[in-house]
Structure 1
């Protein structure tokens, strides 16, 4: 699909510098875009690429117009404008409303005519789907689960019983929502399973990446707030609570009953221990281990950056002597005070 720059200027409320009737048919980077592509400059470090770009038009700030050799759409926030305009050129096929003949829908389930139900979908008893819900092929939706208006469930997702999902939430392929939490009581004869009688509550406008698992609560529900974005392959254990608009990158593991505040950003492969709290507006750097509660907003990190092997091994050896060194320094300090 091609659109004119005049259309994009109106869509983005942008100031157009260039021919209004020029058409662009998609997106491209500054380095690779051809004349029929729209690009953007969000970071001034890439101004060199702007100066040589072959794009048909570029989204940028007013202070970069003089460096742009092509048409410019001037906006206050080029990255946000790019995010908005990306939907104009989205290539994902639009699903047709209706229930595929190969789907299995329980008689007691409520499926509106506007919903799109793909092949081999299983919808169990007393499920309630909102208007315009899309359920991709091979997905299973367990009994008594409710999906709000406009939810999009991609193929091969498993949603267990008693899950509530707010409107416009997106769940990508191979996610599992509502599986049993890791609850077992130890005894002399081994482990006794604890029935997980809670559910999962997911808010509105949430996006959950492929392969992520969200366990149901042991007693109370596991809760994902409004506007939360979860990357791929995240583990959310039972009774975890994640506050509104928090973003969590891939491979993060959150142990049971921990609470993460609103507007937090958790970097990739972070481990969060159980039964702790992270307050609002906390950023945790990738590969960190959070082993105690964080009570003040700010940026936290604990991982060592990559280094040459010989230097890293020397430093690791020195870490083993930190306690001894600390005692010696304290002893010297007390002696100096005398």
Structure 2
């Protein structure tokens, strides 16, 4: 939860912050940030390519950040500052124009804090939150309303739990993390053994250990390890509605989009990306630098960096039904092809479309 306040900056001041030249009125002032399509004359916007059909020369933004090669596309009414990475520069200025300030201060009277918990100076605890025995919260931690921390939870400096976050016993969260509403960290993993005709629960005795500068999206769940820990390393970014099963390891600076599901004991390397809806079967390893596109199902380990895809692209229902029927005939067609090739041992060369 946060309260935002605004200030104003001139084009000259922004250019000085970015070490970039001004094209247009250096005294033009902006008070807010907006998209190119909705910006007004006192707004800052950025352009980094036509991703949504926006025509930048039709924007009413007062100040626009773009690359030098894109300057000719900007409206003549706007002041323009050219930078190498417009979006990154936009973030820098947006943080100055709209500084974040916590909504709460100190400890709300309705919060329940166990006497054995250790809270550093500057910790904020919002209404109706519960801090369990032995918890340790470093300086600058913000616990929003309705959060629950179990026994012996440790949270590093300047980490923020926005609202209704649950972190269960013995879990560790590093510095500078942001955890969005509804996230659950440290719930039991799906460990079951069939015995005498019924499922028996396997004790989940590990922890969840989260590094520094990790983002965890709303309603994402991260299961504790069965014996060893589930680990989310420094700089990893997790979107909303992700399921991380027990003993999963996610490497530094990897990013996972919404609705992905990682089965138990999967290992994702550093600087990997998983698109929305990606599924990982259990006990797989993705090496560093693997990028899996949305809705793909990964059923084997990947040992070479690169971009990987799976699944059938969207088609008309009529053609999809035909292709689905033909898919069931692939084995028979392959056997017929082998028979044909045995009588013609030198097959024709692959076409350009067939050649990987």
Q: Same fold (TM over 0.5)?
A: yes
Q: Which residue, out of 126, 130, 147, partners 2:134? A: 126
Which whole-Å CA distance do the structure 2 matches of 1:245 and 1:42 have between them?
Answer: 23
For residue 32 of structure 1, report the CA deviation from its aligned partner: 2.2
Partners in 2 of 1:236 and 1:204 — Cα distance?
A: 18
User: In structure 2, which of residues 35, 38, 56 is the aligned counterpart of residue 50 of structure 1?
Assistant: 56
1:4 maps to 10
- 3-state SS of 2:96 partner: coil
Structure 1 residues 190 and 304: CA distance shift in structure 2, 3 A: same
* Match of residue 308 from structure 2: 300
Q: Is the 8 A contact 1:229 1:248 kept in 2?
A: yes
Give me the TM-score of the superposition, normalised by structure 2: 0.91
Cα distance, 1:65 vs. partner?
2.2
Structure 2 Cα separation of the partners of residues 163 and 45 of structure 1 = 40
1:26-105 to structure 2, matched below 5 A, reads: 26-43=32-49, 49-68=55-74, 69=76, 70-90=78-98, 93-105=101-113
CA contact (8 A) 1:211 1:233 kept: yes
Deviation track 1:91-122 (CA, whole Å, cap 9, x = no partner) reads 75424441111111111111122011101110
> Per-residue deviation at 1:79?
1.7
3-state SS, counterpart of residue 324 of structure 1? helix
1:318 to 298, 308, 326: 326
Q: Aligned pair 1:209/2:209, yes or no?
A: no
Does the residue aligned with 1:87 lie in a helix, a strand or coil?
A: helix
Secondary structure of the 2:259 match is: coil
Is 1:14 matched up with 2:20?
yes
Query: Aligned equivalents of 2:285 and 2:53: distance in 1?
Result: 42
Residues 48 and 319 of structure 1: CA distance in aligned 2, closer, same or farther (over 3 Å): closer
Q: 2:285 aligns with which of 274, 277, 289?
A: 277
Taking structure 1 as reference, are residues 167 and 111 closer, same or farther at Cα in structure 2, changes over 3 Å only? Answer: same
Q: CA deviation at 1:157?
A: 0.6
In structure 1, stretches of 5+ residues that fail to align are none
Task: Please say if residues 121 and 139 of structure 1, whose CA atoms lie closer than 8 Å, have aligned partners that are also in contact.
Answer: yes
Moved more, 323-332 or 15-24: 15-24
SS class of match (1:98): coil
1:242 aligns with 2:250: yes
Match of 2:30 among 24, 28, 33: 24
User: Among 137, 144, 147, which residue is 2:145 paired with?
Assistant: 137
Q: TM-score, normalised by structure 1?
A: 0.96
1:222 aligns with 2:248: no
Task: Structure 2 unaligned segments of length 5 or more: list them.
Answer: 1-5, 347-356
CA contact (8 A) 1:250 1:268 kept: yes
- Call closer, same or farther: CA 1:47–1:180 in 2, change over 3 Å: closer
